[in-house]
Amino acid sequence: MHKLVRSARFAVKTLRQTSLCARTITTTPFPEFADLSQLKSHDDLHKFSLENPEQFWGRLALSRLQWDEEFQSVLNCELEKGEIDWFLGGKLNASVNCVDRHLATRGDQLALIWERDEPGTEEYVTYRELSEMVGQIANVLRNSGVKKGGRVAIYLPMAPITVATMLACARIGAVHSVVFAGFSAEALASRIQDAEVETVVTADQGVRGGRIIPLKQAVDAAVAQCPSVKRVFVYQRTGADVPMGPKDIPLEKAMSGESTECAPVSLASEDTLFMLYTSGSTGKPKGIAHSIAGYLLYVATTFKHVFDYQPGERFGCVADIGWITGHSYALYGPLCCGATTLLFESSPIYPNPGRYWEMVQRLQLNHIYLAPTSLRLLLKAGDSWVNKYDLSSLRTLGCVGEPLNHEAWDWYYEVVGQKRCDVIDTWWQTETGGICISPRPSSPGAHIEPGMPMRPFFGIKPVLVDEKNEEVNGEDVEGALCLGSLWPGMARTIYGDHQRYIETYLKPCPGLYYTGDGAHRHKGGNYQITGRMDDVVNVTGHRLGTAELEDIMDTHPDVAESAVVGFPHDIKGEGIFAFVVLKEGVKHSHDDIAQALRAAVKQGIASYAQPDFILFTNGLPWTRSGKIMRRILRKIASNQADELGDVSTLADPSVVEGIVKGYKALH
Ligand code: WTA
């Protein structure tokens, strides 16, 4: 039995039906299956992908990746041991797949658009220029002693050099471990130590939202605690005069002495491409490891079909490369498909809340892929920031990371997309490598349902499981979301701790991959994510997804965003504590709004779901990766504000003080 599901009962989501989105979905067909005449519809192909994963992924692997040596088998697996091998016997190189193979046909096409912090100072990099940069950095790394399998920590701002460094690692078979350049020196040090990193690549400084981020200074503090580090390459982002020690090597200077050509190493399919630590909001960070062929195939395929990317289009994933979204959909997916991809260095509100939209107009982006948290922030700033700009180039409005509540969904669809664009809410995880559930691809003419990612991708079989580990069948049901199929993009291990990988993902529900999320399967088989299983609140024996409560509260016209946690309650087991951020210029009193919110929850779910406490606060503790750190809110709600622990991964740690003060005033 898996422990995390604490009750059989999940709250049933009241779905607001809408006719707003009876839209025709655009989808690109799969030429690889054109000869199979029995596969007539989207559903036929989906069924085929689940019943014949070897044929499905085998055909795609041959046509979409460039191999040095073809694989001998598609899938070998001993699930209980967590031994999952795709494309054994195959040899390839990820940097060749992402760069070299495009040179003959699109060497002069843009690979990267670097949207630097200051609007209007963007830079462009063609595939040929990227190839030269990758070659030089690969030579620098190799000649300085970086070997196949060696770990390289990358602590760089969003810039072409960052992408080139990652691809240079891939070229020589080194394993990159990108650490978000907003993490503290301590967070960086623990990641360096965990992977026994010898090589670090950083910059003098970063720039974000007009503010300087002292990257080299943080690296110096981290490296002082990390004896494994032998060398630190320093890229000049600002040209600041930073102190250079004996291990430090100026990167551009080292590059200028190297050839732009570097022979790629032919690597096995299952060699590790990279590791990436999952956000530290629970326990010790896990170094999630992805292997070359499976990951690359999965992100390239999902990129092409979820976003329906067409040649020549400009794809704008605004996620930082320090997160999996940046890896999969700013770098590997787009470049493997020969796309033009954006690198966004700035902030959604710099210099003002019109930044994204001004950028879309200026750069003529066709797709934007962002986080619901930034949407809610921008929504709060008002429609005028959107309406100023011509967004007619946009076709896809993507989002990822947390539930896209109805109010944000509507705003995205109506105000940003002017009802012209598909809103594509994508569900996936660092561990899944790429998108697993999303409205696209689908049959032509299919609907998009607001507030949920809806449909499993090809090869993905969502399974809902109850607390007895039994599969929950039928529609309009909830359970722990597991995946009952194997897909090539899934993580293969936790670096240095394979047992933890097995325990976390494969043991809770034997035979299935355990996601840790809860989901609701609606009518028509559409999936809605109800939130992390560990964010579930149990009130008088009734289980409530915090996301559901938040969705209802966020719909109130005065509410900008909210977060709900449980706290110990003498009578009910757990009570509900809601932290609510109001929009600017709200006219109603707090009491009136609180009353309206309680009524809305009662109406939307049930009276037991009404919050015991509603605290109005100026902000929520968002991590830099765009998640609310609920651990902190739970502690505050439980009157344990003196045990908050590490808050250094928060985007703005000062928010916490305000919430604690508010809590004290409330009691
Ligand atoms: C959550 C980000 C609701 C979920 C790619 C998951 C979502 C975790 C969605 C993974 C979505 C991601 N709707 N929740 N569309 N997408 N999540 O590893 O709880 O940073 O388990 O990967 O984010 O976060 P991670």
232: β partners: 200, 248
Contact 95, 170 (CB under 8 A): yes
Q: Kindly give the number of the ligand 1 atom that is closest to the alpha carbon of 404.
A: 13
pLDDT band, residue 649 (cuts 50/70/90): confident
pLDDT value at position 573?
Answer: 64
| CA-closest candidate to residue 410, choices 364, 376, 361 | 376
pLDDT band, residue 19 (cuts 50/70/90): very low
pLDDT at 652 over 90: no
pLDDT value at position 536?
Answer: 61
Residue 239: strand, helix, or coil: coil
Q: What percent of the chain has pLDDT over 90?
A: 76
The CA distance from 360 to 358, in Å, is 6
pLDDT at 183 over 90: no
DSSP state of 333: H
pLDDT at 173 over 90: yes
pLDDT value at position 309?
Answer: 96
Q: How far is ligand 1, taken at its centre, from the CA of residue 220, in Å?
A: 33
pLDDT at 621 over 70: yes
Q: How far is ligand 1, taken at its centre, from the CA of residue 257, in Å?
A: 43
Contact 112, 130 (CB under 8 A): yes
Cα 648 off chain centre by: 20
User: pLDDT of 241-281, one tens digit each?
Assistant: 999 999 999 999 999 999 999 999 999 999 999 999 875 33
Q: Dihedral of CA 460/464/467/469: which sign?
A: negative
Q: What percent of the chain has pLDDT over 70?
A: 92
Q: How far is ligand 1, taken at its centre, from the CA of residue 424, in Å?
A: 14
Contact 317, 435 (CB under 8 A): no
> Which range among 36-40, 228-232, 284-288 shows the weakest confidence by mean pLDDT?
284-288
User: pLDDT of 577-611, one tens digit each?
Assistant: 999 999 999 999 999 999 999 999 887 777 778 89
The CA distance from 579 to 611, in Å, is 10
pLDDT band, residue 540 (cuts 50/70/90): low
pLDDT at 85 over 70: yes
The CA distance from 563 to 501, in Å, is 29
pLDDT value at position 542?
Answer: 58
- Ligand 1 pocket test target in 423, 428, 448 with most atoms within 8 Å of CB: 428
pLDDT at 515 over 50: yes
Check pocket membership of 299 for ligand 1, CB cut-off 6 A.
no
pLDDT value at position 531?
Answer: 66
DSSP state of 441: S
pLDDT at 477 over 90: yes
Check pocket membership of 517 for ligand 1, CB cut-off 6 A.
yes
pLDDT at 22 over 70: no
Give the predicted TM-score (pTM) of the model. 0.84
pLDDT at 284 over 70: no
How many other C-beta atoms can be found within 10 angstroms of the C-beta atom of residue 584? Answer: 8
Both tokens of residue 104? 């003959």
Q: How far is ligand 1, taken at its centre, from the CA of residue 429, in Å?
A: 5
pLDDT value at position 607?
Answer: 72
Residue by residue, DSSP assigns 406-438 as: HHHHHHIIIIISTT-SEEEEEB--GGG-S--B-
Check pocket membership of 400 for ligand 1, CB cut-off 6 A.
yes
Q: Who wins on pLDDT, 279 or 172? A: 172
Q: How far is ligand 1, taken at its centre, from the CA of residue 308, in Å?
A: 21
Residue 305 to residues 25, 26, 56, 352, 461, Cα–Cα distance (Å):
11, 9, 15, 33, 17
pLDDT value at position 405?
Answer: 84
Contact 265, 171 (CB under 8 A): yes
Contact 553, 618 (CB under 8 A): no
Q: Whose CA is nearest to atom 13 of ligand 1?
A: 403
Check pocket membership of 325 for ligand 1, CB cut-off 6 A.
yes
The CA distance from 487 to 615, in Å, is 43
The rounded mean pLDDT for the chain is: 91
* Rounded average pLDDT over 429-441: 96
pLDDT value at position 534?
Answer: 63
pLDDT band, residue 26 (cuts 50/70/90): low
Both tokens of residue 378? 């921008």
pLDDT value at position 299?
Answer: 98
Largest CA distance in the chain: 71
pLDDT value at position 28?
Answer: 77
Check pocket membership of 373 for ligand 1, CB cut-off 6 A.
no
User: pLDDT of 287-309, one tens digit each?
Assistant: 999 999 999 999 999 999 999 99
Contact 25, 444 (CB under 8 A): yes
* Rounded average pLDDT over 88-110: 98
| Total count of residues recorded for the chain | 667
pLDDT at 6 over 50: no
Q: How far is ligand 1, taken at its centre, from the CA of residue 596, in Å?
A: 29
pLDDT value at position 182?
Answer: 80
DSSP state of 490: S
pLDDT value at position 9?
Answer: 25
Q: Is the ipTM of this complex over 0.95?
A: yes
pLDDT value at position 20?
Answer: 38
pLDDT band, residue 556 (cuts 50/70/90): very high
Q: Whose CA is nearest to atom 23 of ligand 1?
A: 401
Q: Whose CA is nearest to atom 25 of ligand 1?
A: 429
615: β partners: 579
From edge to edge, which strands make up the β-sheet containing 367-370? 123-126, 110-115, 340-344, 314-317, 367-370, 396-400, 422-426
pLDDT at 654 over 80: yes
